[in-house]
Amino acid sequence: MDSPGNVPDGPGVLAGMRTDHSKDRTTRPATPIRRLTAIGIGLAAVGAIALSSPQPLPALRLAAAAQAVTAPAEGAYWHTRTLWKGTYSHQLGRGKNRYWVEEQKVSERWTALDGRTWRGYRELGVRPKSAADERAWRRDGSPTTWTRTANGMTASLSTKPDKGMVILNLDAKGAPLIGFDLVDRMLSYEQAQAMPTDPAGLKAWIDKASRDPNSGVSDDGRESYVRGQLVGILSDAPVKEVRAAAYEALPTIPGVRSLGKVEDPRGRTGQGFLVDLGWGKGSGGSRQKQFTDTERLIVDTGTMTPLASEVKYGGEPLRAKTSTATTVTLQIGWTDGKPSVPALP
């Protein structure tokens, strides 16, 4: 098996491009829940934003500095592959023939044991959101590309999939960004293994991380931060025992309600949670309008990984209407498959 460093360059493989697609999850507000930024939002900005250097770890003891480190037998990379679907932010069309379209995007992430991470992206093309939108689209001449929205804003949309790309995560200086991105820190595989594996200990560990001066988390946002980090650990932690602790801790956090057994969009059964994503005060302490965003999260209790996530946005003054974005996990776990441009689903 070739080493991670031997991933070949080729069409769509941008080994030196910098990116800020930090977590491949559905976009939420950037502060105080910085880790919950995500899949599919702003992919056109790939390469335009450099990743900042990782902040130093807070003075936390990762429970088991003496714990034995065991390399996984299942593969060389911790790998996730997800499909995101959401409504484009502005209507398209002309005159009375205005319509909404849905975007679909495949995202993948591969993190090697040495901490190097590759990310793959592929736009799958847009399509009218509803039957009424399709009728308006046909009256508009059934266009297959758009350069302007209905209100004249610049757009770059197509009904056809693009070629996609795969990139190596680099820091602001152009060096590989090393580590598993957990609790807003870049942790080595050894450190990830040493994270607390009991629910109370994991919550306390995240809470302490949020109190680091570099975290930027306000006192009013700390509860939301802990809640968001527990959700992120379910897909990002390469250690099942840590994911299990996050799963058990999640329903003990205010703003999380258990839904029991539910089905995801592909008919798979898992444990459902309804997660409140709102908060009241900004990091500066000034009162902001309360967000009413919620996430319906479905977890596979066998692997302790997400099956799907549906985020409903609403209540923000800048949004014209409530919208929904769905992320479905297609693959997650250890793999020997090398980073490559995402295949069409």
Under the banding of pLDDT at 50, 70 and 90, the label for residue 37 is: very low
Q: Kindly report, residue by residue over 76-128, the tens digit of the pLDDT.
A: 999 999 999 999 999 999 999 999 999 999 999 999 999 999 999 999 999 99
Predicted confidence at residue 214, as pLDDT, reads 81
Q: Kindly report, residue by residue over 287-344, the tens digit of the pLDDT.
A: 344 456 899 999 999 999 999 999 987 654 434 456 789 999 999 999 999 999 999 9
Q: Kindly report, residue by residue over 236-280, the tens digit of the pLDDT.
A: 999 999 999 999 999 999 999 999 999 999 999 999 999 988 654
Per domain, the residue ranges of the chain are: 10-55+73-335
d(CA 218, CA 283): 5
Q: Which residues of 121-156 are buried (b: 16+ CB within 10 A; e: fewer)?
A: bbbbbbebbeeebeebbeebeeeeebeebbeeeebe
**Following DSSP, what letter does each residue of 260-320 receive, concatenated?**
EEEE-TTS-EEEEEEEE---SB-TTS-B-PPP--EEEEEEETTTTEEEEEEEEE---TT-S
Q: What is the mean pLDDT of the chain?
A: 80
Q: How far is CA 75 from CA 72, 167, 188, 321, in A?
A: 7, 20, 17, 44
Predicted confidence at residue 72, as pLDDT, reads 62
Please work out, in degrees rounded to the nearest 5, the angle formed at the alpha carbon of residue 222 by the alpha carbons of 320 and 257: 65
Section 50-68 average pLDDT: 37
Phi, psi angle pair for 202, to nearest 5°: -70, -45
Under the banding of pLDDT at 50, 70 and 90, the label for residue 141 is: very high
Section 14-25 average pLDDT: 39
Predicted confidence at residue 213, as pLDDT, reads 83
Under the banding of pLDDT at 50, 70 and 90, the label for residue 159 is: very high
d(CA 264, CA 293): 19
Section 120-140 average pLDDT: 97
Under the banding of pLDDT at 50, 70 and 90, the label for residue 31 is: very low
Q: Is the pLDDT of residue 51 over 50?
A: no
**8-12, 21-25, 33-37: which has the minimum mean pLDDT?**
33-37
d(CA 261, CA 96): 44
Q: Kindly report, residue by residue over 194-215, the tens digit of the pLDDT.
A: 999 999 999 999 999 999 888 8
Q: List the one residue out of 83, 77, 78 whose CA is nearest residue 107.
A: 83
Predicted confidence at residue 71, as pLDDT, reads 52
**182 membership: H or E segment, kind and range:** strand 180-182
Contact 311, 274 (CB under 8 A): no
Predicted confidence at residue 322, as pLDDT, reads 61
Contact 240, 89 (CB under 8 A): no
Q: Cβ of 32: how many Cβ atoms within 10 Å?
A: 23
d(CA 250, CA 193): 20
Orientation angle between helical segments 199-210 and 222-236, nearest 10 degrees:
120
